[in-house]
Amino acid sequence: MMRLFKKNKDIGLGWKDIRLSQLQEIHTLPEYDDKIDLMVNVLSILLDKDPSDIEDMLVTDLLVEYNRWEFLKEQPKEELIPIVKHNGKKYGIIELDKMTLGQYGDIEEYLSDGNIFDNIHKVLSVIYLPVKKYNRLTHKYEVEEYSPSTEREDMFKELTMDILYPTILFFCRIVSHYIVGLQHSLVGKKEKELMEMISQQEEV
């Protein structure tokens, strides 16, 4: 077997070393009966290498490398990150109570198949919008009006998880809560209108 990778056990890895797209790809892997097969396929994604390259590693090196990613079993802290940057451009989180029906509708569509994580980059592209004004003293900002953007969706897939994971955990709960609340509000309004119509007909 070839020794393709030097032992680098002392190099600390963290969520900063994983892109959202990599975690999404790992999420789609099937269940493996053989743990070595799982290690090979997970490492090929994390290291951006072909599985055949990983298979050429010494078993001892493979185990050392795999153990460096043990932090994946731990849940990161939930922390709201209001602004993310990519290629020098800022993207700020919107105020949920100012979301449009179009934004709610798009998020609901992305979550409708129950496979939230596969579409989370699309959800992020709805709640993070380009910043058009930013005050360096107060850190307050204004975002552009919402418009769906596949370019923004793809951008979030390439951001690292130290930035996105805490916000994903936080906003998945908040956004889901708002959608449910909106649905109940709309249903309640329709029921009220229906009851008023029935009442008027009875009076006639």
Residue in the block written with tokens 């910043």: 131
- When pLDDT is cut at 50, 70 and 90, the band that residue 80 belongs to is confident
| Average model confidence (pLDDT) across the chain | 80
Helices (H), 56-203: 59-67, 101-111, 120-127, 150-157, 161-203
Cα–Cα distance list, 91 to 52, 129, 171 (Å): 38, 5, 15
- Tell me the pTM: 0.75
Spatial contact of 58 and 3, defined as CB atoms under 8 Å apart: yes
Greater pLDDT, 174 or 104: 104
CA nearest neighbour of 80 among 114, 125, 118, 128: 128
CA 83 – CA 29 distance, rounded (Å): 31
What is the predicted pLDDT for the residue at 44?
A: 95
What is the predicted pLDDT for the residue at 122?
A: 94
